Structure 1
Amino acid sequence: MKMPRVECPHCERMIAAGMVAGRPSKGRLWRHDPTERPELFGDALVSCTGSLEIVDLPKPGAQMEFVEVNEDGQPEEAPAGSLGTLALF
């Protein structure tokens, strides 16, 4: 599953954020190293202070849209009106 990337508030890098259960508009940043790690900490394993922080996700609840492409690589026009489907409920 591809996760959205969100800017870390501390190091300002784009980091993947996994969804938080029960909160569809929030995500938890993955653990990542600070950008100045080699200069300040040497070989020690140190996480950025923004790791595992809960942040807002972009476009909560949005679904992926599939666009059909013709032979020229251009997106096709969506059909106007009903798609000929029936409601199940």
Structure 2
Amino acid sequence: MSDSLQLILEDVDGTQLETSCTRFAVMWQGREVWIQQVGNNQLMIGVDVEDGDTEYANLLLRPLATNLVSLELEMEPVESGEDDHVHGPDCNHDH
């Protein structure tokens, strides 16, 4: 299985450009929303968080129809003293 995503980019006049990458980001509401392929034919979607951010992002996915979903980016204040670090395979922590 390849970790490469096949992308089709389309501009307003309908011209399409095909390319591939391992992950990509969309700037949305001032945040980088990253998308990458992970095992079992799944996509992982995450929002970059900077040190000192006073808000963190929730991604809400809602079904709209048989083949459509809505993705909403909702910002929520960070509670003081809250550990906002999410441990994952790339965080370099021993856990």
* Shorter-chain TM-score tier: under 0.3
- Higher helix fraction (1 or 2): 1
Structure 1 length as normaliser, TM-score? Answer: 0.25
Structure whose CA Rg is larger: 1
- Higher strand fraction (1 or 2): 2
| Highest RCO, 1 vs 2 (Cα 8 Å, sep ≥ 6) | 1
